[in-house]
Structure 1
């Protein structure tokens, strides 16, 4: 590209001369008579403007002084890199650090936000470098001497001693994915693990004993993370236990996805988690458990879940069988009159038989037996019925709700 610095020979003059362009034909304009007030206000006439068309832009390079005259300083060599960047993800941290096998840009410092890219001088193409917000260099007091890459290209900087302390079998499992054959953990470089960044983030938080709740992980990712622990050389029962933030996070997801949490806990023999999740499965239709889900849960926990449902149904039927007690006979309410209370109770029990299940609520019991009091004229009969309803509710609440 040529640069023109002679003001007597502007670039558009050469363009007009070479292609014989007539400015009056290129910019057809009305006569000055159609705009008589142009000179009155100090502006050139339209005909004069047509004789001197707007010059073409100059492509000459700026000097350093030209850059500093701008409102902010931007390195022009970084603009090509910035144009290829996607919006920054809040879950990705990109510090200005030297990453393994990635060379930083050789351009001058810039105020442009180019933290997400590093220039590769060999091929001239920008490369993306995404680093975990929780496991980046300097995120922990220990030295980060182990780098793991997720399947979606996020780097995790870890301390090998913490990993080894959690499980001695972890390093052989990690090295299975190393791209350097026969290398040790210190020579393996970046080890690519076939798991997403969301799943690896949960796994490493679990190993470090820290919480990942600030990342709001999906329940499916939590389940996948625990399921992936054995493949990476960790025993789920040793890490996901009471007091571990991941264990507490799984407990909090039990009300919304109880079967997923129960099956996960049963599969990995996380007894406390399985017991907690089973209390939210009282209304779960057991006929929906297919062969795959049954195999994942296992015979032991599946049997305990079935027996929980059966025992609760059996117990509530036994509680409701007993009608209200009789009060001492009086002239206005003898033994025959009190049989009406037993009939009303049997009527309510028959109605409840359609809704009896392991998840029968106390509100349902009250809604069935409470209105029966209005059908009794004897105050003593009413009191005996109310007393019986309170006794049923007390006994039903005391029935075990977990496996």
Structure 2
């Protein structure tokens, strides 16, 4: 049976070894040679010396900061977060006291808290069937930008601060049909969010915005946008634009452009009335002769577009009067120009 106690330390035995020292390497001087002591003999081969390269002294060692050690990959993982709309969230309360009870999740993960009754009120198919189930949330194949614009349209909230792009506005209109929404009802009024958003883009992208309005059958919006298209040549209308706006609105757009140019030709065709002869002028300045007048106004019409302004037209016509010194001719021309400008300003500039 083994004992759990250690044997007593034999000091006499170890003292004799120290005094004998015969086990240490000898030297000629009788003193202990440290190098001889560290010589382990050839049997140890390459292990005769202790390598010191690659190690640093205690002064070179860097202290370890136990409070600033790199965290493990698991420790660096942050808890998942949910992106929620700043407008459509659980804090929203409608004027009638209704609160959100349903979540719509955009394709990019943004959550929109909405009132299911509000959606049913504006949709003829339970918002694409999403509200027919007992679930309290549903994922949608729309980006947060498009879904945000769609909900602003349903709720009648201005989206001017978001300045949505034309492509997003087009996607909003395209999304209305599968979710049972009528753009003719939701966006027909000038104060409706979608009406305002499309109109705000019209000065810079008139053809695209006109196509959107026509595609959604928003008659008033298409009419308001149509004057902006007068700066564009008709050849700029692509096949895609024509297909989007449909044959009816395409025809009306062409008639608007061509009709204004025909009206301009008609207004300018007749030359000014000659004044009674005087000692210095027979009443017919060179430019007042019918042939010469037609040539001059033809040059103006050739370089004009359907959106030529009344001021620009007046400036070009008045310049003709500088070619004569007859004050009566200049007076009659000025009277004629004023009448022409008034007639041009009355020509319809919308579809």
The TM-score, its normalising length taken from structure 2, stands at 0.76
Do structure 1's residue 146 and structure 2's residue 102 form an aligned pair?
yes
Any idea what SS the aligned residue of 1:198 has?
A: helix
Unaligned runs of 5+ in 2: 1-49
- Summarize deviations over 1:12-49 as a string: whole Å, max 9, x none: xxxxxxxx99799514xxxxxxxxxxxxxxxxxxxxx7
Query: Structure 1's 362 and 294: CA in aligned 2 closer, same or farther, altered over 3 A?
Result: same
1:355 aligns with one of 291, 297, 303? 303
Contact 1:147 1:156 in 2 (8 A): yes
- Residue 40 of structure 1 is matched in structure 2 by none
Distance 2:259 2:54 in 1: 99
Residue aligned with 1:306, SS: helix
Deviation (angstroms), 1:314? 0.8
The question of 1:132 aligning with 2:85 is answered yes
Q: In the alignment, does 2:303 pair up with 1:295?
A: no
Per-residue CA shift, 1:99-147, capped at 9, x if unaligned? Answer: xxxxxxxxxxxxxxxxxxxxxxxxxxx4331111111111234221111
TM-superposed deviation, 1:59: 6.6
1:389 matches 2:337:
yes
Q: Tell me how many residue pairs correspond in the alignment.
A: 295
**2:327 counterpart of 1:374:** no
Q: 1:122 is matched with which residue?
A: none
Is 2:64 the counterpart of 1:56? yes
Partner Cα separation in structure 2 for residue 139 and residue 307 of structure 1: 48
**In the alignment, what sits opposite 2:219?**
271
Match of 1:164 in 2: 120
Distance 2:305 2:156 in 1: 40
2:56 alignment partner in structure 1: 26
1:316 matches 2:264 = yes
Larger radius of gyration: 2
RMSD: 2.8
Q: Contact 1:278–1:305 (CA<8 Å) still a contact in 2?
A: yes
Query: 1:196: Cα distance to partner?
Result: 0.3
Residues 122, 154 of structure 2: 8 Å contact kept: yes
Matches of 2:188 and 2:213 in 1, distance apart? 10
1:341 correspondence with 2:341: no
Q: Which has the higher contact order (CA 8 A, sep 6+)?
A: 2
Structure 1 residues 79 and 244: CA distance shift in structure 2, 3 A: farther
SS of match in other structure, 1:220 = helix
CA shift, 1:161, in A, is 1.0
Secondary structure of 1:148's match? strand
Q: Show the counterpart of 2:76.
A: 80
> How far apart, CA to CA, are the structure 2 residues paired with 1:233 and 1:21?
82
Over 3 Å counting, the alpha-carbon distance change for 1:59 and 1:284 in structure 2 is: closer
Q: Deviations over 1:308-355 (max 9, x none)?
A: 1111111100111011111122232225x4454336533421321321
1:174 aligns with 2:92: no
Within 5 Å, which residues of 2 pair with 1:65-144?
80-82=76-78, 126-141=79-94, 142-144=98-100
SS in 2 for 1:282: helix
Query: 1:171 deviation in Å?
Result: 3.5
Q: Distance in 2 between matches of 1:331 and 1:54?
A: 112
Distance 1:289 1:364 in 2: 26
Name which of 225, 230, 238 aligns with 2:177.
Answer: 230
3-state SS in 2 of match to 1:157: strand
Tell me the TM-score normalized by structure 1.
Answer: 0.67
Conservation of the 8 A alpha-carbon contact between 1:344 and 1:372 = no
Is the alpha carbon distance of 1:77 and 1:24 closer, same or farther for their aligned partners in structure 2, counting shifts above 3 Å?
Answer: closer
Residue aligned with 2:188, SS:
coil
Work out the CA distance in 1 between the residues paired with 2:68 and 2:226: 74
What is the CA-CA distance between 1:77 and the residue it aligns to?
12
